[in-house]
Amino acid sequence: MKSPFHAALATALALALTGAAAVPALAHTHTHAPSTSATPTPAADPSTRPNGEALRKAIEGLPNDDATAALVRVGGKHGTWRGSSGVHDLVTHRRADPHGRFRAGSTTKIVTAAVALQLAAEGTLDLDKPLQHYMPDLFPRPADKEKRFLPIPVRSLLDYTSGLKTGDGFDDEYAHRYDTLDPRTVVASAIAKGPQHVPGKEQHYRNIGYTVLGLLIERVTRDSYADQARERIFEPLRMRDTYFPGTDPRIRGPHNRGYQRMERPDGTTRLVDVTEWNQFDRFAAGDMISSTADLETFTQALFGGKLLPPAQLKEMLTRPRLAPGVPEATFGAGLQYMKVNGKKVWLKTGARYGYTNMIAATEDGSRTLVYSVNATDAKGEGMNPVAERIAEAALS
């Protein structure tokens, strides 16, 4: 029987890619036992503390076919748990760095949402105004007898209901991993395709809305998105490992290597080192580099009410009402909603080549989870087995 996490998260995961350039096989690596630590709250009911045994089992035996390393941090009111497992790389086989940085993927979107909602609280950005008001050069107003976009409220970018289609990218992304694709080009190609549906009527998880949102933040602040994220989020929270690399394909600072399992023409697979990759086109939707410590700080600050006023935090945790007959919305402003054993949980997954990640918290902030798994199928259709075990152990 499949875990509820598998079904709930599947829609947020992207399709696998193919590539080349093999690396050493997993069969010749050395397994390291998980390195863990736990700090229970003395007055806490033992049943509410993080399940250390289940968490250790979730990350033991790495590297294996599914992942080469895993970094986990569980926190909240009832104690903490820290763990890491696996190897830094498949050449030296030395232990994984528990403080390593990684490509945060779509967890970037929650930072983007927080910046946008801060601007809304300040009156700089009106969530009810259409993109055509702020960006008439990109989103022309409807013209008679032309198939143009209806007014697209800013809010619809946040909750994935804009109707925008996915923009064009490289056909073979691995082959172009050192090339630069400007996010404005991606947005222009999406707009040229026309709308998929009337804004607000359906919810479809895509990067494009948050790519537009990053450009919109730049438009209304007259500043770069990266600078706004740094000044509003990273510096106040002292997130020293977190930054936007721009066109730099490297991960600066300590990090564990990322590998992707890719298929050969004959149907067999090999692992490819995908640590270096220029992902500037992901921009405000997925280009951030961070660490589990920084993302835990961010998650606890967000759910602790330190980043957003109450009205804007409520906005983030509100799912839109969609058209009759359309499946119920599962996302609020960036975050995905789940109910686990009666607990309301909000989360966001992220996957870039070689790395799959999650930030999650119960709505009351009593339990938080951040993990980064060096998954060999980070762009696969399903949830990585190691990541799934971590989520179940931490949130069930």
Domains with residue ranges and CATH for the chain: 4-395 (3.40.710.10)
Per-residue pLDDT of the chain (396 residues; tens, 9 = 90+): 555 555 554 444 433 333 334 455 554 456 677 887 767 665 556 667 999 999 999 999 999 999 999 999 999 988 999 999 999 999 999 999 999 999 999 999 999 999 999 999 999 999 999 999 999 999 876 654 445 678 999 999 999 999 999 999 988 898 999 999 999 999 999 999 989 999 999 999 999 999 999 999 999 999 999 999 999 999 999 999 999 999 999 999 999 999 999 888 888 889 999 999 999 999 999 999 999 999 999 999 999 999 999 999 999 999 999 999 999 999 999 999 999 888 899 999 999 999 999 999 999 989 999 999 999 998 777 899 999 999 999 998
Q: What is the dihedral of CA 273, 278, 283, 289, to 10 degrees?
A: 50
Q: What is the dihedral of CA 132, 217, 255, 28, to 10 degrees?
A: -10
The H-assigned helical ranges of the chain are: 4-9, 52-59, 108-122, 131-134, 154-158, 183-192, 208-221, 225-229, 283-286, 292-303, 310-316, 385-395
Separation CA 109–CA 112 (nearest Å): 5
Separation CA 301–CA 303 (nearest Å): 6
Give residues with Cβ within 8 angstroms of 313, minimum separation 6: 117, 302, 305, 307
Query: What is the pTM for the complete model shown?
Result: 0.91
